[in-house]
Amino acid sequence: METQLGLTAGRRLLDSAIARATELGVPVSIAVVDAGGHVVIKARMDGAPLISVRMAEDKAYTSAATNLPTSDLHPLVQPGEPLYELIAAEAGRVITFGGGSPLRSQDEQVTGGVGVSGGTVEQDAEIAGTAARAWMGA
């Protein structure tokens, strides 16, 4: 397992996500960011909706920035819940539904994030999770 998330690892994560998306038959956009939340690699599969390009990056950023899968944030931002105001406070950057996974080192430090957008929330989360597990197990 690597500790630095460089372009070689980024490409491997991207290919892993594309392979899973192809199995599911859903074109998506995928973004891999480093511990600083900045893009290492980002790509849009042919046929993925336009909006997915930006949302994939925002999901990857959110996971790197919070060290949480974006799906964990979803219940917390509903009306009355502890982080309700987060969606407005961080509007345009943070996405709090599924599709983003943090990438962690063996000592649980954040080394980056992967974000997927273009399918259903469940599909996006499944593809991002597959890529993240490939990284953790590397």
Residue of the chain from 13, 20, 34, 69 that contacts a second copy (CB under 8 A): 34
Q: Does 97 bind a second copy (CB under 8 A)?
A: yes
The answer to whether residues 45 and 52 touch, using CB atoms and an 8 Å cutoff, is no
The neighbour count for residue 131, using CB atoms within 10 Å, is 26
Q: Which of residues 98-117 bind a second copy (CB under 8 A)?
A: 109-110
Residue of the chain from 13, 58, 60, 115 that contacts a second copy (CB under 8 A): 58
CB of 30 to a second copy, least distance (A): 10
Q: Does 3 bind a second copy (CB under 8 A)?
A: no
Pairing label, strands 39-44, 29-34: antiparallel
Residue of the chain from 21, 26, 28, 94 that contacts a second copy (CB under 8 A): 94
The answer to whether residues 111 and 58 touch, using CB atoms and an 8 Å cutoff, is no
Q: Does 95 bind a second copy (CB under 8 A)?
A: yes
In terms of Cα–Cα distance, which of 125, 102, 132, 126 is closest to 13?
132
Residue of the chain from 43, 104, 105, 136 that contacts a second copy (CB under 8 A): 43
Angle ∠(7,49,133) on CA atoms, nearest 5: 40
Residue of the chain from 19, 24, 37, 136 that contacts a second copy (CB under 8 A): 37
**Alpha-carbon separation of residue 35 from 5, 18, 90, 119 (angstroms):** 8, 22, 18, 25
Residues near a second copy (CB under 8 A), total: 54
